[in-house]
Structure 1
């Protein structure tokens, strides 16, 4: 039996892909990206959350945790499918200019919605939208109502400042708004209908090319979102709906002062009484969208950092117990073939690792986070778990070339000693050696950021934790750079990616189960 190469993948958000619409889309540029991966034996494309956004730029602050980001709808694919042409995008393209893209898309979706509403040639799409609306009613109805009312209220007013009847979801008041602003509501339905058509077309294309799309589920949702407006009892809010306790982290190696994210924490006791129904629906939806998905900030399921909204200083927060195994047990019982990866970085402890290990969950080892503290030891190569996923960096770290410029002489000596485990002849600490080190991991999966393969410095940084503005906007400036980056990765894989032992095959999606259902405990292949 031939030995099997461990899986490898590339981290690149959809928005970062090249293309003519101001940000990457689900159209030709995404299909080309999949083909480039497939042609070089790269099996995984990992992305950031693709949830519905509005005036927020961060993919971790969605207006609906169930909806899709309509900025990713590809207008060229729509034209090929019989939709009318839309106005060209004329805004900046070298970075993702969120305001310019939003303005362009609002105009385009208005035009398309008017066509779908009245054109004889759009009859099949009217039928498709009606079927989509019925099939997705459990989340779509609330999202469309929320988005419509929010737009009518000015587009930036949080829902807890709406008139009382709308804030409190009085059925007659909500129905009145929806009736007199049906054109706006129809546009939001169309956006979601088109996103989902194109998303599942891309998923099918990727599956045909044997490329997995790995998604991301943020642990928290924006307080000013359809999810919180429609499910107030699930969150720690005050009497009018403002967050009473805020999410965040204590000081850690990502941010010395800690972080306050501004979103409300959950009322886990209330969620437990419904057997975590909202969370189960959310995870089931992610399982439909992705081959596998990562739960961001998994440590909050063990214990979460709760910051008083009245004094939103992360250093004034406190640890509170999360749902722990109860939520995961319910999820595995109700969602067939659930495939979860976890982000277990930052201020983690034995409680987090025990919860992770009880379910045999793949976790993250990030080479840039190697250090001497207890919670940084897990990122050394010899401490990588076979069930883990190895990364050189991720969306919350600098590009590796930028990071190298920040290292002290002692750190440089430490990392040079480390990369010699993969490249014994290495004489200097450089990007090539660190990429080789990451790919040499015994982890079942190793992921590299596209920016590192393109050898980018500060200009390629995606997000700087603890900062507002200037994040999430990186794009590939020249599509012709992508084949060279993929060839570079393919050469690294051939030289440094280890073969798996015979008793540790790469699992197919859908085979992951809690260890309670397995005969053998301990590390296992994901």
Structure 2
């Protein structure tokens, strides 16, 4: 991370307006970049761009490398001649405020299939041939997704045993049988990365960097686990043996059972953490800065035997720590990282973070209460950090404030934020934004929901739940010149 003062907005592309029911990499994304530029923002933070699986979570994906095909812009496919205007003319009526994932996927994939059919009638471009030849993870991913379709969408450990365990004869058979389907999934990835790189180049040319997101764990039902079983804590049948989570704490008596397979770190160390080096290299080719989710898991992680119903019966196990990041540093140089260091953080985690000079995160919602120690209040935040009003896992600022019932807490907030007795909802949000901007931290990132002063209805995720998450979208026309001007003035006055 660069050390000069800067600011940005947190918004996942799925939350952009679009008549196709989900935000995509089309014109609205370019318009958002223009808004950031007018607002004197220098950062656009997103969630993982990978293809989401169960629950549509971008943190539980079918691949740690592939892109989400639902983000492909149909309008861009029309421009490329892969669809006609007529193809995209009869769009169902979708909600403007929520992504309705099932009908959206059914509609978009039908048109993506059509685009693929048109693509096949053309001579293969040099760019496509190079992409297929030079993308190491693509073959396994395309075969995995094709097999998933073939076996009715079930997890890979429920496929025929021979192909689940990647026996050579079975691999040859299905590669031949599903040749057309494999080509389809390769096409989707080619188009996704083509559209994404065009958008990123546009943002970079406007002086805006992209902050990407790297979940520490992969999903069990992923091409990563299926194609590389030796790297994960799986048994001889490919089933999870040890899974991830966090132990019981003040917020949860039973902890959190995430269920992701753990890594076999000793096995990974044998080739100098090649899989991880490839993962960072792949992500840094499409973003400018990487936020590492659950950074503390690299120092020590909570290991739970598979089959447990809660996270209670787990244990702390030492992670790869410095060895991993030294390897990445040797091969990739100093990497621009934000370490998500929220929750109970030990001195060992702090030491690992500081050893590599990674900035951590500060969340205003977590520190603004009357019982907080003076050293942790926003006016004492250190320079080398990234401050947020909240994240995708928090309520919006307005929703958070409206749920506070403790008179002492409310009094403290009103005094700290210098709110008048007759303050408005706008006052609450903008005082929090101003507070973040005026801290000493080098970087400030504000969720767009707070810029738009939206309540709990705009919350992105409720951790520990499956239904109703990742759906929020903002309406076209919400990003007014007045908002851009207010952000711009704030950026200038706070030397960001």
TM over 0.5: yes
CA contact (8 A) 1:145 1:174 kept: no
Q: Where does residue 325 of structure 1 map in the other structure?
A: 322
Q: Where does residue 462 of structure 1 map in the other structure?
A: 460
Q: Secondary structure at the match of 1:447?
A: strand
Residues 1:402 and 2:399 are matched in the alignment: yes
Matches within 5 A, 1:416-435: 416-420=414-418, 430-435=428-433
Q: Where does residue 9 of structure 1 map in the other structure?
A: 8
CA distance in 2, matches of 1:426, 1:6: 33
Q: Secondary structure at the match of 1:456?
A: coil
CA distance in 2, matches of 1:168, 1:373: 56
Q: Where does residue 141 of structure 2 map in the other structure?
A: 143
Normalised to the residue count of structure 2, the TM-score between the two structures is 0.92
Listed one character per residue, the Cα deviations across residues 438-466 of structure 1 (whole Å, up to 9, x for unaligned) are 11111111011100111100111000111
CA distance in 2, matches of 1:331, 1:165: 35
CA spacing shift, 1:167–1:205, aligned 2, 3 Å? same
Q: Secondary structure at the match of 2:119?
A: helix
Matches within 5 A, 1:373-392: 379-392=376-389
CA distance in 2, matches of 1:166, 1:81: 37
- The count of corresponding residues between Structure 1 and Structure 2 is 486
Listed one character per residue, the Cα deviations across residues 457-477 of structure 1 (whole Å, up to 9, x for unaligned) are 011100011111110000012
Displacement of 1:418 after TM fit? Answer: 3.3
Residues 1:355 and 2:352 are matched in the alignment: yes
CA spacing shift, 1:46–1:482, aligned 2, 3 Å? farther
Runs of 4+ in 1 over 4 A off after TM superposition: 252-257, 371-379, 425-429
Which of 193, 197, 206 matches 2:190?
Answer: 193
Matches within 5 A, 1:269-288: 269-288=266-285
Matches within 5 A, 1:247-258: 247-252=244-249, 255=252, 257-258=254-255
CA distance in 2, matches of 1:486, 1:190: 38
Q: Where does residue 512 of structure 1 map in the other structure?
A: none
Which of 148, 151, 156 matches 1:159?
Answer: 156
Q: Secondary structure at the match of 2:115?
A: helix
CA distance in 2, matches of 1:168, 1:406: 50
CA distance in 2, matches of 1:333, 1:414: 48
CA spacing shift, 1:307–1:193, aligned 2, 3 Å? same
CA spacing shift, 1:208–1:394, aligned 2, 3 Å? same
Query: What are the ranges of 5 or more consecutive residues in structure 1 without an aligned counterpart?
Result: 500-526
Q: Secondary structure at the match of 2:327?
A: helix
CA contact (8 A) 1:91 1:100 kept: no
Q: Where does residue 103 of structure 1 map in the other structure?
A: 106
CA spacing shift, 1:373–1:359, aligned 2, 3 Å? farther
CA contact (8 A) 1:426 1:433 kept: no
Residues 1:414 and 2:416 are matched in the alignment: no
CA contact (8 A) 1:44 1:212 kept: yes
Which of 297, 313, 317 matches 1:316?
Answer: 313
CA contact (8 A) 1:450 1:485 kept: no
Matches within 5 A, 1:161-310: 161-252=158-249, 255=252, 257-310=254-307
CA contact (8 A) 2:230 2:267 kept: yes
CA distance in 1, matches of 2:250, 2:8: 26
Displacement of 1:103 after TM fit? Answer: 1.0
Q: Secondary structure at the match of 2:403?
A: coil
**Which stretch shifts more, 160-169 or 377-386?**
377-386
CA distance in 1, matches of 2:253, 2:91: 41
CA distance in 1, matches of 2:270, 2:4: 45
Q: Where does residue 511 of structure 1 map in the other structure?
A: none
Displacement of 1:432 after TM fit? Answer: 2.5
Q: Secondary structure at the match of 2:57?
A: coil
Displacement of 1:254 after TM fit? Answer: 6.1
Normalised to the residue count of structure 1, the TM-score between the two structures is 0.87
Residues 1:92 and 2:102 are matched in the alignment: no
**Which stretch shifts more, 268-277 or 393-402?**
268-277
Q: Secondary structure at the match of 1:199?
A: helix
Q: Where does residue 29 of structure 2 map in the other structure?
A: 30
Q: Where does residue 131 of structure 1 map in the other structure?
A: 130
CA spacing shift, 1:311–1:96, aligned 2, 3 Å? same
CA distance in 2, matches of 1:302, 1:457: 36
Displacement of 1:259 after TM fit? Answer: 1.5
CA distance in 2, matches of 1:253, 1:370: 16
Displacement of 1:377 after TM fit? Answer: 7.3
Q: Secondary structure at the match of 1:395?
A: coil
**Which stretch shifts more, 316-325 or 442-451?**
316-325
CA distance in 2, matches of 1:426, 1:68: 48
